[in-house]
Amino acid sequence: MKSDAPVKESKVRSALKGLSWRIIATLTIILIVYVKTGEIESA
């Protein structure tokens, strides 16, 4: 059965989530700048 108790975040899991979010955000910004300017160097 599934309990409704919140999942306890370990420090490692929290760090990995933060790191993955930073990578996704950085790649998104680079993509937006590239689409707008056509230059990857501007990002």
Q: What pLDDT is attached to residue 4?
A: 64
Residue 32 has a pLDDT of: 93
Decide: pTM greater than 0.85: no
* Helical segments of the chain, H only: 11-37
What CA–CA distance (Å, rounded) separates 8 from 33? 37
**Cβ-based neighbours of 9, under 8 Å, separated by 6 or more:** 17
pLDDT, one tens digit per residue, over 1-43 is 566 656 677 989 999 999 999 999 999 999 999 999 887 776 5
Q: Where are the domains of the chain?
A: 11-43
